[in-house]
Amino acid sequence: MKENTNEKSDNLAAIGIGAMIVFIALILVAAVAAAVIIQTAEKLQQNAQTTGSETTDMLSSKIIVMSVIVSESGTDPSLYITFELAPGSADIAPINVDWSIICPEGAAFGNFNAASAVGTDASVANGNGLLVAHTTYTMEIVTGTGAGNLRECGPAADADHTLLIQSKAGGFTFETLNYGSDISTGSVVV
């Protein structure tokens, strides 16, 4: 008898293997894309957290100037500053808060170590040593040549000087001292 051999080609298995290779390649591409997305999201979260922390530090140590008044006139002009810490501020040592007054003649600078709570005579440095939120403080900046004095940047008629207050924690306050033609005692400049 004659043996009947009929060979048929079977292409279905080759198509299945090709589909499996494409499927595995898609899974690998998706895994790489997911890793990139996760890494990017993590980096963005870290940047946002860092920025938030820096902003909190800056705002939580900010000084709010309520008023600046000329407290003496004539040969020894001085400024009387009333201020508070920004709401939610952490306690700050007054020596860690610096002020500068910038004028056309130069600059004067010092720190808030001579500040006292309103209604008291003792400086904060002699008490608990810290400026605290929800308390109003005052400080006088006087003329002279020592640290914490106005030197050449004292009150001057029809002048504008710049008051900068910087906390070492990062808080920054900027005020313009607007002196009018009258710089007598009691003149409000902020």
pLDDT, tens only, 18-69: 888 999 999 999 999 999 999 999 999 999 999 888 777 666 778 999 999 9
Indicate whether 117 pLDDT > 80: yes
What is residue 23's predicted lDDT score, i.e. its pLDDT? 93
Does 125 lie in the same domain as 71? Answer: yes
DSSP tag of 142: B
Does 75 lie in the same domain as 43? Answer: no
Residue 92 lies in a domain: yes
Residue 131 lies in a domain: yes
Does 119 lie in the same domain as 172? Answer: yes
Domain count, the chain: 2
Q: Quote the percentage of the chain above a pLDDT of 90.
A: 29
Query: Residue with structure tokens 């109003």?
Result: 136
Range of the domain at 107: 63-178
Helix, strand, or coil here: 37? helix
Does 125 lie in the same domain as 33? Answer: no
Does 166 lie in the same domain as 85? Answer: yes
Does 87 lie in the same domain as 45? Answer: no
Does 101 lie in the same domain as 146? Answer: yes
Does 123 lie in the same domain as 44? Answer: no
Helix, strand, or coil here: 53? helix
Indicate whether 169 pLDDT > 80: no
**Residues 66-79: pLDDT tens digits?**
999 998 755 667 89
Residue 144 lies in a domain: yes
Q: What is the pTM of this model?
A: 0.69
Q: Quote the percentage of the chain above a pLDDT of 70.
A: 82
What is residue 34's predicted lDDT score, i.e. its pLDDT? 96
Reported confidence tier of residue 148, pLDDT bands at 50, 70, 90: low
Last residue of a domain, one of 59, 80, 97: 59
Q: Nearest 5°: CA angle at 135, between 176 and 94?
A: 65
Query: Residue with structure tokens 């902003």?
Result: 55
Q: Nearest 5°: CA angle at 136, between 176 and 71?
A: 55
